[in-house]
Amino acid sequence: MHSESEPIHVIEEWYDGPRTGAADYRGAPHHYRSLYLDSERGNPREDRYELTPLTSEALEWLVEANTLFQHWDAARQGGTLPPEATEDGLSPDAPAVFPEDRPQYEMLQRRIADYLANARSRAFIVHGEAVFGANAFRWSEE
């Protein structure tokens, strides 16, 4: 692994470490996706990530969507969610955001999904190690 760490901008999914989101690789923003659950025999120590280069606009979409979720999650943790925004009040396919933020969040998610689908040909695989407490990754092509 390289000794320099690069910042994580967004953690979309977490399971024993960051699994999807946005982080810098060689100083430029990339979408990362952990590959350890891609096989039936997932290895929790798997450290390979698929990286897709992001434009500044695509990074902004990811950050904004994450901000909407974080706003909802802070209220959830603080016990101040209104009944229609609680996990029990959300339908199984509804995003974990406030009802008034749902249209914006869903639009951002569509943009992100479309962008990643179109940029898939530029994706590549590297090894990564999350640096806990620093909100960063150390990347290696090894």
Mean pLDDT of 116-135: 93
Domain of residue 79, residue span: 6-140
**pLDDT computed for residue 33 by the predictor:** 95
- The reply to whether 84 falls in a domain is yes
- The reply to whether 118 falls in a domain is yes
Number of domains within the chain: 1
Instruction: State pLDDT tens for residues 49-108.
Output: 999 999 999 999 999 999 999 999 999 899 888 877 766 666 656 788 998 999 999 999
- The reply to whether 108 falls in a domain is yes
Give, in degrees to the nearest 5, the angle at Cα 96 between 46 and 91: 110
- The reply to whether 1 falls in a domain is no
pTM across the whole model: 0.86
Cβ 24 vs Cβ 30: under 8 Å: yes
- The reply to whether 103 falls in a domain is yes
Rg (CA), the chain: 16
- The reply to whether 12 falls in a domain is yes
Contacts of residue 114, defined as CB under 8 A and 6 or more positions apart, other chains included, come to none
What one-character-per-residue DSSP string does 11-50 give?
A: EEEESSSEEEEEEEETTEEEEEEE-TTSSTT--TT--EEE
Instruction: State pLDDT tens for residues 37-53.
Output: 666 665 555 688 999 99
